């Protein structure tokens, strides 16, 4: 998981994701709780959704 956050955009929506959500949970905690960004969304299961949408195997 890679994260790049611009300064002074705490009002903008941030959507974080990874394969199954394990790494993203740490990123969510840091971005939301430690850095103070309040409009953070967690895309849980993004890899599974991508595979199903594109008819591929995981």
Q: Are 14 and 5 in contact (CB under 8 A)?
A: yes
pLDDT of residue 33: 92
* 58 residues of the chain, pLDDT tens digit each: 555 666 667 778 888 887 776 788 888 898 899 988 889 988 877 777 777 776 655 5
Helices (H), the chain: 22-28, 46-53
What is the distance in angstroms between the CA of the first residue and the CA of the last residue of the chain? 18
Fill in the DSSP letter of residue 58.
-
pTM of the model: 0.64
Neighbours of 28 (CB within 10 A): 17
């Amino acid at each position: 998981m890679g994260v790049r956050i611009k300064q002074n955009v705490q009002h903008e929506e941030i959507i974080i994701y990874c394969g199954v959500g394990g790494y993203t949970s740490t990123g969510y905690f840091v971005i939301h709780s430690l850095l103070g960004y309040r409009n953070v969304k967690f895309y849980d299961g993004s890899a599974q959704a991508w595979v199903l949408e594109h008819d591929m195997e995981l």
